């Protein structure tokens, strides 16, 4: 009990520390800059991102106040900077223009944003542009379902193969049904991977899934697509290696031959490579330290594969054995698999905690973010599966090891394993959702506790902090629109002039660059600044650093929600 408390305390302490993560495709700078007025028509709009994005999946629109398009061609990569997209423009007249962009991050997450600029000198007041939807997710029902089938089938195939080649080997003549189950699971994975890659490519390109002629050439243009097509090749290699291992395997011999050992090593290496690819094409490859994140992801998938594949294999074994041999077969196999499953569960739990520490910047983000809530859902399902598994460990396995095992032990085993399979399969479905969500940004670890939650809609929030009365305004509090940020500061009923007020805007739903603006004193005690700082729909941290002329500086944080 004391050891469990210590482990829990260490995990909680580690989660409370900030984690390092690489950014998604955040927009770092633009030319023209956001909300500026340029003297003449620019030849192009240049967008510099935090990583190299694929131009063929990028969508950039430039429109005037009447929503007329002003681009002269599609986005293309700058020859001078791989992280820059350039969009050629028509000749722009004087006035305001809206730029709406959407790109795909390296790990497959779509990111959107918008900003405005003007062509002077007589640009006039900024209009209220009609902003298209800026919210988008990779966690659509179609993609999550396809991703779940990919993970479940390939994990089941690897787990069933291990059960067949190692755990059930002493059971002469019985492994044939397991061999069939292995090939069925592997065939499903070989079909599901390209279908999932095609579905993801269709969403990236905003095309119909059935536009095969246009989509197939694009499947390898993204790092995400290349990763999953490489996964398909490795699955095919694993199929060949596993086929050779099963062909040369002779269960009737107690010791394996050199050919059997070599074939088994080849199949094991191929399976290990298969389990490495999802991490290289997902969150693990974008998280620092990258080697540790990839190792934890690989071990997590390996442990899960041995567990879920072994459970499915046990059900197949139970069904395939004749009634007269069923109990004798389970007596041989269940205790052997029980040891493997127990080790797998320990590794699964440890790597899950380790990955959560790397991906979650704070302990609170475990329940305050969608990513953290998905982790809680996955852990809850796995916890229930472990409870069910403990029933087998404490009742079924001892009964099967007894001098006269009852047939009721085999029936109980089948029922508990069936429930266990359903729970683990559900946990893999939640994991498919989890891997489709962007991890919370590390900025959550640095912004501190919020004084208030505001939005959606115009913000008017009154707070009393450090002896000052503070009245905050954000109008209209809309994404991609020029927003007016204002703070009125009073002390003892009198306005506080001459203060230094800086607003820092931080995206809280994904990793993006912070933006800071100094508010000017428009009238005694009233500080204002207008900027299109909220570039996309979602939650924003609005941090106001206030330094009065005669007083202690302090900071107030608002967590705001901006809509389109």
DSSP H helices in 321-437 = 323-359, 365-368, 370-391, 397-401, 407-436
Sign of CA dihedral 464, 465, 470, 475: negative
Burial class (CB in 10 A: 0-12, 13-18, 19+), 140: middle
Sign of CA dihedral 232, 237, 240, 245: negative
Residue pair 128/281 in contact (Cβ under 8 Å)? The answer is no
Length of the chain: 564
Q: Which two structure tokens, joined as six digits, stand for 175?
A: 């492994």
Residue 564: the pLDDT is 62
CA distance 542 to 280: 34
Instruction: Please count the CA atoms within 13 angstroms of the CA of 136 that sit on its side-chain side.
Output: 17
Helix then strand count (H, E) for the chain reads: 12, 18
- CA dihedral angle for residue 157, residue 159, residue 163, residue 167, rounded to 10 degrees: 160
In sequence order, the 6+-apart residues with CB closer than 8 A to the CB of 54 are 103, 104, 204, 221, 222
Q: CA end-to-end span of the chain, whole Å?
A: 51
Residue 270: the pLDDT is 95
Residue 513: the pLDDT is 65
- Tell me the backbone φ, ψ of residue 385, rounded to 5 degrees: -65, -35
Residue 510: the pLDDT is 64
DSSP state of 534: -
The alpha carbon of residue 10 and the mean position of all alpha carbons in its chain are separated, in whole angstroms, by 25
From residue 494, how far is each of 102, 489, 521, 522 by CA, in Å?
A: 47, 8, 15, 16
Residue pair 475/508 in contact (Cβ under 8 Å)? The answer is no
Residue 443: the pLDDT is 67
Helix axes 407-436, 370-391, angle to 10 degrees: 170
From residue 298, how far is each of 179, 279, 283, 347, 348 by CA, in Å?
A: 25, 7, 12, 11, 10
- CA dihedral angle for residue 386, residue 282, residue 22, residue 515, rounded to 10 degrees: -100
Please tell me whether residue 561 adopts helix, strand or coil conformation.
strand
Q: Which of 12, 158, 146, 129 is nearest to 62 (CA)?
A: 129
CA distance 342 to 345: 5
DSSP state of 1: -
Q: What angle do CA 487, 491, 493 make, to 5 degrees?
A: 100
Question: Which residue shows structure tokens 């019985």?
Answer: 174
CA distance 133 to 143: 20
For the chain of 564 residues, list the mean pLDDT of each consecutive stretch of 10: 36 34 63 85 90 85 91 93 93 92 77 83 80 65 92 95 88 77 96 92 81 82 84 95 91 82 93 92 79 93 94 89 78 84 91 88 79 90 90 79 76 87 93 82 69 88 92 87 89 92 83 80 93 77 91 90 78
């Amino acid at each position: 009990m004391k050891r469990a408390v210590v482990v829990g305390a260490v995990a909680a302490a580690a989660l409370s520390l900030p984690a390092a993560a690489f950014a998604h495709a955040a927009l770092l700078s633009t030319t023209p800059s956001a909300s500026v007025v340029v003297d003449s028509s620019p030849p192009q709009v240049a967008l510099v991102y935090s990583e190299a994005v694929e131009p063929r999946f990028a969508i950039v629109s430039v429109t005037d106040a009447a929503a007329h398009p002003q681009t002269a061609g599609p986005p293309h990569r700058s020859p001078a900077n791989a992280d820059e997209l350039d969009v050629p423009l028509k000749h722009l007249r004087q006035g305001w223009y809206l730029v709406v962009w959407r790109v795909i991050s390296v790990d497959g997450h779509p990111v959107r944003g918008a900003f405005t600029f003007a062509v002077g000198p007589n640009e006039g007041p900024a209009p209220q542009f009609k902003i298209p939807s800026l919210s988008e997710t990779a966690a659509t029902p179609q993609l999550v379902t396809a991703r779940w089938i990919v993970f479940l089938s390939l994990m089941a195939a690897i787990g069933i193969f291990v059960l067949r080649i190692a755990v059930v080997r002493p059971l002469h003549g019985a492994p044939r049904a397991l061999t069939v189950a292995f090939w069925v699971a592997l065939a499903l994975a070989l079909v599901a991977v390209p279908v999932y890659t095609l579905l993801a490519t269709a969403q990236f390109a905003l095309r119909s899934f059935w536009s095969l002629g246009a989509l197939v050439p694009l499947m390898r243009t993204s790092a995400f697509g290349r990763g999953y097509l490489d996964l398909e090749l490795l699955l095919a290699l694993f199929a060949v290696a596993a086929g050779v291992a099963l062909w040369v395997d002779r269960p009737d011999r107690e010791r394996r031959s050199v050919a059997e050992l070599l074939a088994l090593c080849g199949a094991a290496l191929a399976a290990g490579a298969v389990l490495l690819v999802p991490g290289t094409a997902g969150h693990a490859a974008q998280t620092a330290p990258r080697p540790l994140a990839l190792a934890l992801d690989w071990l997590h998938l390996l442990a899960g594969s041995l567990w879920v594949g072994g459970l499915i294999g046990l059900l197949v074994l139970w069904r395939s054995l004749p009634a007269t041999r069923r109990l004798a077969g389970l007596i041989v196999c269940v205790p052997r698999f029980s040891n493997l499953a127990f080790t797998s569960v320990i590794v699964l739990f440890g790597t899950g905690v380790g990955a959560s520490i790397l991906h979650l910047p704070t302990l609170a983000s475990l329940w305050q973010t969608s990513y953290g809530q998905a982790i809680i859902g996955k852990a809850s399902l796995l916890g229930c599966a472990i409870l069910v598994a403990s029933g087998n460990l404490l009742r079924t396995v001892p009964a099967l090891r007894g001098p006269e095992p009852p047939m009721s032990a085999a029936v109980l085993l089948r029922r508990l394993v069936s429930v266990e399979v359903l729970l683990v399969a559900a946990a893999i479905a939640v994991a498919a959702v989890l891997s489709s969500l962007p991890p919370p940004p590390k900025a959550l670890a640095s912004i501190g506790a919020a004084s208030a939650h505001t939005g959606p809609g115009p913000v008017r929030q009154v707070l009393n902090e450090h002896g000052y009365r503070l009245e905050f305004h954000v109008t209209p509090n809309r994404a991609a629109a020029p927003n007016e940020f204002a703070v009125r500061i009073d002390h003892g009923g009198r306005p506080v002039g001459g203060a230094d007020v800086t607003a820092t805007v931080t995206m809280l739903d994904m990793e993006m660059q912070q933006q800071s603006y100094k508010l000017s004193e428009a009238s005694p005690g009233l500080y204002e600044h207008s900027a299109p700082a909220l570039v996309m729909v979602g939650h924003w941290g609005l941090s106001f650093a206030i330094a009065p002329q005669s007083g202690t500086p302090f900071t107030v944080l608002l967590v705001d929600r901006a809509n389109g």
